[in-house]
Amino acid sequence: MLPVPTSLLPHYSAVPSIAGACPHPPQEVAKIGYGFSKKEKRCFKIFPGLILLPVPTALAQVDREKIYQWINELSSPETRENALLELSKKRESVPDLAPMLWHSFGTIAALLQEIVNIYPSINPPTLTAHQSNRVCNALALLQCVASHPETRSAFLAAHIPLFLYPFLHTVSKTRPFEYLRLTSLGVIGALVKTDEQEVINFLLTTEIIPLCLRIMESGSELSKTVATFILQKILLDDTGLAYICQTYERFSHVAMILGKMVLQLSKEPSARLLKHVVRCYLRLSDNPRAREALRQCLPDQLKDTTFAQVLKDDTTTKRWLAQLVKNLQEGQVTDPRGIPLPPQ
């Protein structure tokens, strides 16, 4: 363990990041904040190989015993609901909860049972708020397993994300279903956030892209944002970009949905959602065939000042948008007046 000045960090212990005790790399923790002081954040620059965890206290040890108890209670239908609730509350504060869940007897089977148990309630759509809350607590624990480096590969090898796809197929606009879709998307989002090649390879063998596109077209703003983030992460991977641009049908489906979203965003602006849409377009422009197609189908709203007010304080998205326009202009044949000529 690397030494850390205790005077600088009196309430934290240093743990090598390779131990996998935290799903977030030090620089990400420092950037996002996570409640650390300026002095504590500076420690990440001095000791980039560390993560910070609260020093265990007597109370923390008692809580740990409760964690073991709740995990055991997941195996019993009579005690499972309360255990799901309590563990979902603690998932952010127990760094090694994912391995504990994965390696404890019967726990993953119990979580999958919670998911399968509500399949009859999604078609016809009779899902209640109570059912939705309960299964979403189980999904939150699966998200914990999906995001942890020690359990992610096994999670994918077991094809557990496929159990969530029936929830992404739902179209009901009621709050229980919206909450269910959003939490299910959160599990997939936790996977792609790791930028691991095995995650993209797995997802490309499934129907996740058309599922995300449907939600991007008709979901709530928050669900659209998470679904677009997932598509963005797939596109940012070279394999994912090549897959989507491999056939005209795949590319045109993505381009059509993105175009509809731009039109909708021009009426109901959302800077957060627009950021992901622009990044998807920019990444598509890295592919020569897609770049040629985008010259014909890029929405006018991204070329004029439609979003100038929305993006006035967002330098990153403005830079992406400028780069997108530049990418589409480069190599384009023009007549002497500088007007682009139509393709031959």
The per-residue pLDDT for range 205-221, each reduced to its tens digit, is 999 999 999 999 999 99
Q: What is the mean pLDDT of residues 326-335?
A: 72
Predicted TM-score (pTM) of the model is 0.79
pLDDT digits (tens, 9 = 90+) for 223-233: 999 999 999 99
Q: What is the mean pLDDT of residues 59-85?
A: 88
- What's the confidence (pLDDT) of residue 61? 55
**Is 146's pLDDT higher than 80?**
yes
Q: In this structure, what are the phi and psi dihedrals at residue 334, rounded to the nearest 5 degrees?
A: -125, 160
**Is 151's pLDDT higher than 60?**
yes
Q: Alpha-carbon distance 159 to 208, whole Å?
A: 13
Q: What is the mean pLDDT of residues 313-328?
A: 95
Could you tell me the two tokens for 157? 């090898």
How many residues comprise the chain? 344
pLDDT digits (tens, 9 = 90+) for 263-313: 999 999 999 999 999 999 999 999 999 999 999 999 999 999 999 999 999
- What's the confidence (pLDDT) of residue 311? 93
Of the candidates 73, 103, 99, 105, the residue with the CA atom closest to the CA atom of residue 86:
73
- What's the confidence (pLDDT) of residue 64? 87
Task: Determine the longest span between alpha carbons in the chain, in angstroms.
Answer: 78
| Of the listed ranges 7-11, 164-168, 316-320, the one predicted with least confidence | 7-11
Of the candidates 111, 122, 37, the residue with the CA atom closest to the CA atom of residue 80:
111
Could you tell me the two tokens for 308? 């100038």
| pLDDT over 90 percentage in the chain | 76
DSSP 37-82: -HHHHHHHHH-TTEEEEEPP-HHHHHHHHHHHHHHHHTTSHHHHHH
Angle formed by the axes of helices 315-329 and 271-284, to 10°?
30
- What's the confidence (pLDDT) of residue 24? 40
> Is the model more confident about 18 or about 260?
260
Q: What is the mean pLDDT of residues 163-192?
A: 97
Other beta carbons within 10 angstroms of residue 222's beta carbon come to 15
Q: Alpha-carbon distance 84 to 130, whole Å?
A: 13
Mean pLDDT of the chain: 84
| pLDDT over 70 percentage in the chain | 78
**CA 218, 223, 224, 229 torsion-angle sign:** negative
> Is the model more confident about 64 or about 200?
200
Q: Alpha-carbon distance 250 to 230, whole Å?
A: 16
- What's the confidence (pLDDT) of residue 89? 93
Work out the pLDDT band at 63, boundaries 50, 70, 90. Answer: confident
- What's the confidence (pLDDT) of residue 332? 60
**Is 29's pLDDT higher than 50?**
no
Q: Which amino acid is at 58?
A: A
> Is the model more confident about 97 or about 337?
97
CB contact at 8 A, 73 and 80:
yes
Other beta carbons within 10 angstroms of residue 257's beta carbon come to 23
**Is 91's pLDDT higher than 60?**
yes
pLDDT digits (tens, 9 = 90+) for 178-201: 999 999 999 999 999 999 999 999
Q: Which amino acid is at 162?
A: L
Q: Is 131 exposed, middle or buried (0-12, 13-18, 19+ CB in 10 A)?
A: middle
